[in-house]
Chain A
Amino acid sequence: MTAAATAFAVPSVLVFFTSATLIVVGATGVISLKNPVHAALSLIMTLFGVAVAFVAQSADFLAAVQIIVYAGAIVVLFLFVIMFLGVDRREQVSVEPLVGQRAFAAAGVVITVAGLITLMARSHWVTGAMSVSNGGVPIATGQGNVKELGTAVFTTYLFAFEATAALLIIAVVGAVLLARRERTNQGEETGS
């Protein structure tokens, strides 16, 4: 622990508990609330909690992107769909659409949690490194870590980055193709 890390020990613990509470309460709300709009609101709360946790780790850029992309765009689209389809009422959860779905879900949860715990116990679970902290000192200081992030994305992780970009474009083209299907009354294709 360096001097900087010790001096902010109490505030950082407070920040951690605040963000943890936001995340856990929000996540519980997402799965327990009956009304889809309320569930989406809880999801926003979780996303904010994660953003606070990112800021506490000096990952300001990630925090901003978390809010702009997830809270600012993706959940808005969820709500958009919920409003358009009019599914804003309590859902019937007693029927099982697919037979045996619940058992499979339970097995999946057990496997995922076990895997996560194993990974966290053995190493840092994303990069495989034992620790991300640079001896208690933030890797990038002050003006954010956009430069480091950009360099990493466009050199080390270029392939993954481009693959993700291609995937997103394919999804968009596919969605447009499905939505703008040629509908003809006589079953014949006219035009190009």
Chain B
Amino acid sequence: MSWLASVDPLFAHGVTWVVLLIVAIKVIAGFSMLMGGVILMIWFERKAISDMQSRIGPQRWGPFGLLQTLADGIKLILKEDLIPAEADRFVFKLAPYLVLLPALVTFAIIPIGGTLTIAGHPVMLQVVNPPMGILLMLAMSGISVYGVMLAGWASGSKYPLLSAVRASAQMISYEAALGMTIVTIVLATGSLSVHNIVAAQAGGIWHWNIIRLGFVPFAVFVIAITAELNRPPFDVVEAESELVGGFHTEYSSFRFAIFFLAEYMNTITMSAIIVTLFLGGPAGWIPNVSHLRWVFPIAWFLVKTVGFAFCYIWFRASLPRFRYDQLMDLGWKRLIPLSLGWMLIVAGFLVAKGWGFMMAAAVLLAWTVLSRAFDLGQTRESGVDAVLPVVGERPLPGQVLRSMTDEEEG
């Protein structure tokens, strides 16, 4: 029983009915928080974007249009459920749930407040604190690729298929940079557990990972996670101008609603993950009020998370979409080397200052060699059709012919 207690102090006195009840309440509270959050998030996004574009936005249903999402949900459920004739029926029906499940599970590991005492039991305000900790988030973001991929493939239609291929390549590419930044955090914390990651950031803004690890891992993490979410400016997976609606073009009714729900759940969860990993989670200033001290960590957590959710909306309203090859270049040539190098430097400084500076010098050297290699690779002269040039700089067929004949003469 002792190992159970070391996972969560709630189980210190054995698993009784009271403990099970507390666990059940935590699960239901987490679930309803996420669901309620999605409704508010969709409304918030529509309102914020319409403000940025000088429109009014939803206003008919409820005060300030707050019930617009509910109305949309009811409309979607009452619509006809279509399955294309060419679709793989089993996988087509399975895919939405494969998107929804990781979105729900990831939220479970986020600590939204401190520790309460209910009926003599210490209760962490976190649905579960597994020993594998933050790796669960990586595992779930790995699984969420399947929903998108299989939805695209199973639709039996060409644009969803293209979207599925893009999604699989994009999400795998950015997962590497994501994993590398998480390794940096785990190195600095010395534990995988999300609870310990938050605890290590307590005690003032200078202990938050965003400052303690240097700004770089934070920047890499935010970019990589935006790409994982397929949100603008990395939404090539559902690029309307190229792929109709992307992987969910053929979906309608409730299945489409599930995709929509999962996307917003993921946005909220990932904002919360960023807050947990880099901004100290529920850490913040607590006034000296008796009996209400536990409310303030939750409030801080919510404020920070909403701030990040707003940043995502801001990205969407202001940044143009990346082209697919630019997206891959950014992932493989910039973010992965950068996060790897920064991880080595942080690891060096954790051992000793001397090692840190040595690592920094080594990383600088490697960076120079790598950028020289990129340079050589881009300007290398080779056969006419060895490597296709970037779309905008591709020569017209006539020019290619002329260059070939010129070469033969010369």
Contacts and interface: CB of A to CB of B under 8 A. Distances in A.
Interface in B73-93: 88, 90-91
Interface string A60-79: 11011101100111001101
Interface in A125-178: 138, 141-144, 146
A38 B154 CA distance: 11
Given A61-B132, A142-B7, A185-B384, A67 B139 contact: yes
Interface in B158-182: 161, 164-165, 168-169, 171-172, 175, 179
A76 B145 contact: yes
A68 B1 contact: no
Interface stretch (A19-27, A80-88, A98-106, A115-123): A80-88
Given A185-B383, A191-B381, A60 B131 contact: yes
A64 B186 CA distance: 15
Contacts of A94: none
Interface in A25-55: 35, 37-38, 41, 44
Given A73-B175, A190-B383, A7 B1 contact: yes
Contacts of A88: 153
Contacts of B141: 72
A84 B162 CA distance: 9
B344 to A, nearest CB: 15
Interface in B362-410: 376, 380-387, 404, 407-408
B91 A60 contact: no
Contacts of B88: 35, 37
A92 interface: no
B164 A143 contact: no
A182 B169 contact: no
The A contact surface, by secondary structure, is helix
Size bracket, chain A contacts:
35 or more
Contacts of A183: 382-383, 385-386
B131 A68 contact: no
A3 interface: yes
B67 interface: no
Contacts of B146: 44, 76, 79
Contacts of A72: 138-139, 141-143, 145, 172, 175
Contacts of A67: 139, 142-143
B157 interface: no
B164 A68 contact: no
A191 B380 contact: yes
12 contacts: A38-B90, A44-B146, A63-B132, A67-B139, A68-B179, A72-B141, A76-B145, A79-B146, A143-B7, A143-B191, A144-B192, A183-B385
Interface of B: 1-3, 5-7, 88, 90-91, 130-133, 135-136, 138-139, 141-143, 145-146, 149-150, 153, 161, 164-165, 168-169, 171-172, 175, 179, 191-193, 196, 376, 380-387, 404, 407-408
Q: Give the top 9 A-B pairs by smallest Cβ distance, nearest first.
A: A72-B142, A142-B6, A191-B381, A184-B383, A64-B135, A144-B131, A67-B139, A141-B3, A60-B132
Interface of A: 3-4, 7, 35, 37-38, 41, 44, 58, 60-61, 63-65, 67-68, 71-73, 76-77, 79-80, 83-84, 88, 138, 141-144, 146, 180, 182-186, 190-192
